[in-house]
Amino acid sequence: MAAVNDNNNTTLHYIFDPMCGWCYAAAPLVDAARSVPGLSVEFHGGGMMTGANRRPITAQWRDYVMPHDRRIAELTGQPFGQGYFEGLLRDTGAVMDSEPPTTAVLAAEALRTGGGLDMIHRLQRAHYVEGRRIADMDVLTAVAAELGFDAEAFASAFARLSGEATAQHIAASRQLLQRAGGQGFPTFVLAQADGTASRIDIGPWLGRADEWKAQLATLAAPSGVAADVGAGQASCGPDSCAI
């Protein structure tokens, strides 16, 4: 694929959606990657549930996603709370909309380097464990406060980055996904300092964060070579999640 690294370091590009169950499954891998020396992690929100793909919570949606959620929990150990299973997934007034939480991620990054990844992680827990409506501004404001962001600064950054700025970010993320040959979310692309880049299939690494970290450390070393690793990439499309 075309070069995607304009930095001097090895970069792991994380193409995600805040409401993607398999992105939540991969959250421990993202956390592990952040602690690899010589490796930077960049996020790219793909807007899985935006525009015509926004959807309300319904009984049918609950029945559809719960088997996937249980598989994620079994495979990775990621927790799902009663607030999610018996709260949010029964809240027919809630709307699944990726755009507001994506804007919140962009705002957090604008205010603090690394804040975007912190926000992604916290929003995933708010959604899948606590069952909160992460598309609602009052929830996003509360989560930002929990992460230590000044309320006024966050509101200002959110307003500045909402609308067109978020749309441009989503469009660029989808272009990267297409160039990488990814089929959905999450997709990980490892870009070397020399400009070479390759998609990493994370399916075999789910639930194996320590081994994943060791592999990334090898690939991020000066002699490392970007290459597809393993098979069975976890992915989510606008209407489905599978591994």
Which token pair is 238? 């606008």
Band the pLDDT of 90: cuts 50, 70, 90: very high
Beta carbons of 120 and 128 less than 8 angstroms apart: no
* 44: β partners: 15
42-87 confidence digits (pLDDT tens): 999 999 999 999 999 999 999 999 999 999 999 999 999 999 999 9
Instruction: Report yes or no on whether pTM surpasses 0.75.
Output: yes
- What whole-number distance in Å separates Cα of residue 165 and Cα of residue 186? 22
Distance of CA 229 to the CA centre of its chain: 20
Band the pLDDT of 221: cuts 50, 70, 90: confident
Q: Does the pLDDT value for residue 2 go beyond 90? A: no
Q: Which of 52, 38, 39, 76 is nearest to 188 (CA)?
A: 39
Q: Does the pLDDT value for residue 98 go beyond 90? A: yes
Percent of the chain with pLDDT over 70: 88
Band the pLDDT of 223: cuts 50, 70, 90: low
147-175 confidence digits (pLDDT tens): 999 999 999 999 999 999 999 999 999 99
Whole-angstrom CA distances from 181 to 1, 174, 219, 240 are 8, 11, 20, 18
